[in-house]
Amino acid sequence: MRAKNYFVGAAFALLASGMAHSALAQDIKIGEINSYSLLPAFTEPYRKGWQLAVEEINAAGGINGKKLIVVSKDDGGKPADAQTAANELVSSEGVAMLTGTFLSNIGLAVSDFANQKKVFFLAAEPLTDAVTWSKGNKYTFRLRPSNYMQAAMLVEAASKLPAKRWATIAPNYEYGQSAVAVFKKLMSEKRPDIQWVDEQWPPQGKIDAGPVVQAVAAANPEAILNVTFGADLVKLVREGNTRGLFKGREVVSFLTGEPEYLDPLKEETPEGWIVTGYPWYSIKTPEHDAFLKAYQAKYNDYPRLGSIVGYQTIKSAAAILAKANSTDPEKLIAAAEGLSMPSPFGEITFRKIDHQSTLGAYVGKTALKDGKGVMVDSVYKKGADYLPSDAEVEKLRPKD
């Protein structure tokens, strides 16, 4: 078995590649992981966002005078590969903290890794409530509004609708199942009079849209909750439009107002859906204007929600590092808990109780303008207003 020699060879190669990256001592390194190859549509704007943030931070003198370096790795959409990357970043690159991740399962995998290896982790995009609650841990913080928060924002609008007969369409995996569960729970609390007349659980990424639309139509609901996204959403919308599913029915939909999901729909965009999203074209605040200008100047492109998340992730990381003035994880945690900072959406705070940021989202209605989908009547919902009481949160989160 000459085979074993390869072990050694491979090990040497890995060592060598590790050394090549060693940085100057006065730099601060952040490790960043995301599904660049699997989900380029979401991670490209995200990358542009954080690159802009790095540029701005270093132009302003870095973190307490030290240059910020972000070492970025692809996870290929696999939790196991994300952990390998996390390990490389921590062990070989010596990063001060981990950030990033898009998919919930990868967020959880890295969060669990962070907890085990005692590394600070700022989760950027994963939505599952588990990251901060049922599987929350001391080392993990999250930027983006969670599943629960987005559901609560939507329920606020949905509960005002007259509709009593509701149907749900959600991808059949943890995200879809928990989104529906939270929405139903919150909705039933506010509106005990409503009925759930049908639920459709197409497999994630493999929706057979025609039959699903038919089946929902057959149940004749007055309103529909949609949790599908991406290519599934496109198929659902096209079939729904053709078959008139959405005619005369209210639709409440997770995430659909985000440019990542809304823009591909073009002239097929359904009108009047109540959605969470990011209407970058209609936000008129000084913070957002500044971000938008800088982003468009650098990339000659408009931002997606991912751009905001990427930008704010690194901005938040920098703020935490600056306040802690150390790379010691315990000090980073102490610095991050309760830390407030500006963001393009206004001031946000990383809550001490569950490490969730209070970054909010925009809720509005979809509309068609010049053959493109847009969000209208958008209102920013502060994250802090859509979280359960502290007493409830404490019950949800394991004791450290």
The answer to whether residue 399 forms part of the interface with other proteins (CB under 8 A) is no
Position 368, amino acid: L
Edge to edge, the sheet with strand 121-123 lists 68-74, 28-34, 97-100, 121-123, 140-142
The answer to whether residue 230 forms part of the interface with other proteins (CB under 8 A) is yes
* Min separation Cβ 316 and other proteins, Å: 24
Give, as ranges, the residues between 90 and 129 that touch other proteins (CB under 8 A).
90-92, 104-105, 108-109, 111-113, 115-116, 128
Using the rule CB under 8 A, which residue among 63, 212, 319, 361 binds other proteins? 212
Pick the stretch among 82-90, 146-154, 309-317, 364-372 that binds other proteins (CB under 8 A).
Answer: 82-90
- Cα 345-121-317 angle, rounded to 5 deg: 45
* Min separation Cβ 303 and other proteins, Å: 14
Whose Cβ is closer to other proteins: residue 323's or residue 372's? Answer: 372
The answer to whether residue 265 forms part of the interface with other proteins (CB under 8 A) is yes
CB pairs under 8 A, 24+ apart, for 288-296? 288/344, 288/345, 290/344, 291/344, 292/344, 294/52, 294/56, 295/48, 295/49, 295/52
Pick the stretch among 71-79, 311-319, 343-351, 354-362 that binds other proteins (CB under 8 A).
Answer: 71-79
Whose Cβ is closer to other proteins: residue 136's or residue 279's? Answer: 136
Using the rule CB under 8 A, which residue among 22, 195, 214, 325 binds other proteins? 214
How many residues of this chain bind other proteins (CB under 8 A)? 86
Token duo for residue 117 = 């290896």
> What is the per-residue binding string for other proteins in 185-204, x denoting contact by CB under 8 A?
--------------xxxxx-
> What is the per-residue binding string for other proteins in 155-184, x denoting contact by CB under 8 A?
-----------------xxxx-xx------
> What is the per-residue binding string for other proteins in 23-62, x denoting contact by CB under 8 A?
-------------xxx-xx-xx------------------
Using the rule CB under 8 A, which residue among 23, 161, 215, 341 binds other proteins? 215
Whose Cβ is closer to other proteins: residue 199's or residue 222's? Answer: 199
Give, as ranges, the residues between 267 and 306 that touch other proteins (CB under 8 A).
268
Give, as ranges, the residues between 128 and 157 that touch other proteins (CB under 8 A).
128, 130, 135
Query: Rounded to an integer, what distance in angstroms lies between the CA atom of residue 271 and that of residue 392?
Result: 37
Tokens 């074209």, residue located: 281
Query: Rounded to an integer, what distance in angstroms lies between the CA atom of residue 238 and that of residue 270?
Result: 9
Query: Rounded to an integer, what distance in angstroms lies between the CA atom of residue 98 and that of residue 118?
Result: 11
Whose Cβ is closer to other proteins: residue 105's or residue 316's? Answer: 105
Whose Cβ is closer to other proteins: residue 6's or residue 347's? Answer: 6
Token duo for residue 341 = 């900072």
